[in-house]
């Protein structure tokens, strides 16, 4: 038998270890195709429509209804800009029953910068049929830091309408978990503080205070064309003077929402 040279062995080993250019090309093409598909799958414009039935209207630790309300909302998002509208329909036998006693709208922008997400927005709040509640609005800015399934955030708002200068701030954390085919579970906790003007307007307590601690939990069940979201939450006024100014310093609310979302 003819002996095998060292050069022949080296060439054979290199052929096994180093893939030929022709065999590497399809893998590169597949990666390019997958990247292109990922870009195409990210829609430029999205929308969301939801009708939420709540046991009580809760806002910043305060109850704004005696009983059940219906709260329709809609939004359109494109290029980081969001345009939305929200309304409140009184269902139970109380003032303004069967009427939309609040209609709000807003415009916001969200920008992601590495691990940090920044959003800013303007909102207008109107109160039909309520002469003692003037049209007002607010400007807000928020910072979000995602860490795995958690998102930590802070939001600062200031009134720019009928109660110009009233300030509200909050610090919170959100958790979200989504399975491949099952429900989406979300939970959150936040604490909020307010200026003396804010508390004077909404609670007739003329002092700056650490106002509230709130928690919320929801489970969303997705279907082909619609989703169903069951949610509950509670709120506790932390300051003794604020608790004394309201009938219900500790509130528990719940609701069922029906909605749809996606690209047009």
What are the pLDDT digits (tens) for 103-155? 999 999 999 988 999 999 999 999 998 888 899 999 999 999 999 999 999 99
The DSSP 8-state label assigned to residue 180 in this structure reads: S
Q: Write out the DSSP string of 25-80.
A: HHHHHHHHHHHHHHHHHS-SEEEEEEEEEESS-EETTEE--SS-EEEEEEEEEETT
How much is the pLDDT for 41? 63
How much is the pLDDT for 131? 85
- pLDDT band of residue 12 (cuts 50, 70, 90) is very low
Q: What is this structure's pTM?
A: 0.81
- pLDDT band of residue 179 (cuts 50, 70, 90) is confident
Instruction: Specify whether the backbone of 11 is left (phi greater than 0), alpha (psi in -120 to 50) or beta.
Output: alpha
Give the DSSP H/E element, type plus range, for residue 23. helix 21-41
How much is the pLDDT for 182? 83
157 exposure class (CB count in 10 Å sphere: 0-12, 13-18, 19+)? buried
Better pLDDT: 8 or 215? 215
CA–CA dist 11, 259 (Å, integer) = 64
Q: Is the dihedral of CA 191, 195, 196, 202 positive or negative?
A: negative
Better pLDDT: 190 or 24? 190
CA–CA dist 122, 169 (Å, integer) = 15
How much is the pLDDT for 11? 35
CB environment 54-93: b (16+ within 10 A), e (fewer): bbbbbebbbbebeebbebebebebeeeebebebbbbbeee
- pLDDT band of residue 180 (cuts 50, 70, 90) is confident
Q: Which of 231, 229, 232, 233 minimizes the C-alpha distance to 258?
A: 229
Q: Please check the confidence at residue 24 and state whether its pLDDT lies above 50.
A: no
Give the DSSP H/E element, type plus range, for residue 198. helix 196-203
Q: Please check the confidence at residue 15 and state whether its pLDDT lies above 50.
A: no
Mean pLDDT of the chain: 87
CA–CA dist 8, 123 (Å, integer) = 76
- Given a contact cutoff of 8 angstroms between Cβ atoms, the answer to whether 197 and 208 are in contact is no
Q: Please check the confidence at residue 64 and state whether its pLDDT lies above 60.
A: yes
Percent over 90 (pLDDT), the chain:
76
How much is the pLDDT for 30? 53
The answer for residues whose C-beta is within 8 angstroms of residue 232's C-beta and 6 or more apart is: 216, 217, 218, 252, 253, 254, 255
How much is the pLDDT for 119? 97
Q: Please check the confidence at residue 4 and state whether its pLDDT lies above 50.
A: no
Token digits of residue 21:
């250019």
Q: How far is CA 147 from CA 1, 141, 175, in A?
A: 66, 20, 10
Percent over 70 (pLDDT), the chain:
84
pLDDT for 183-193, tens place per residue?
Answer: 999 999 999 99
Using DSSP bridges, classify how beta strands 81-90 and 150-159 pair: parallel, antiparallel or unpaired: unpaired
- Calculate mean pLDDT across residues 72-101: 95
How much is the pLDDT for 251? 97
């Amino acid at each position: 038998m003819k002996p095998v040279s060292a050069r022949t062995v080296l060439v054979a080993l290199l052929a096994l270890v180093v893939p030929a250019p022709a065999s590497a090309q399809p893998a590169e093409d597949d990666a390019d195709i997958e990247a292109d598909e990922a870009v195409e799958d990210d829609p430029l414009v999205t929308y969301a429509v939801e009708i939420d039935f709540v046991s009580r209207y809760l806002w910043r630790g305060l109850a704004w209804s005696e009983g059940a309300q219906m709260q329709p909302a809609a939004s359109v998002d494109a290029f980081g800009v969001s345009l939305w509208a929200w309304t409140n329909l009184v269902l139970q036998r109380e003032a303004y029953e069967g009427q939309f006693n609040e209609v709000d709208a807003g415009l916001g922008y969200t920008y992601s910068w590495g691990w940090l997400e920044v959003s800013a927005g303007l909102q207008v709040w109107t109160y039909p049929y309520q002469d003692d509640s003037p049209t007002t609005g607010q400007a807000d800015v928020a910072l979000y830091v995602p860490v795995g399934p958690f998102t930590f955030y802070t939001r600062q708002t200031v009134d720019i309408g009928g109660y110009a200068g009233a300030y509200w701030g909050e610090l919170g954390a959100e958790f979200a978990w989504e399975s491949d085919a099952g429900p989406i579970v979300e939970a959150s906790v936040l604490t909020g503080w307010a200026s003396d003007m804010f508390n004077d307007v909404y609670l007739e307590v003329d002092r700056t205070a650490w106002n509230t601690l709130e928690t919320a939990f929801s489970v969303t069940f997705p279907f082909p064309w619609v989703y169903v979201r069951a949610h509950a939450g509670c709120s506790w006024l932390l300051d003794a003077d604020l608790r004394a100014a309201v009938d219900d310093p500790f509130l528990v609310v719940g609701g069922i929402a029906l909605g749809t979302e996606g690209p047009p």
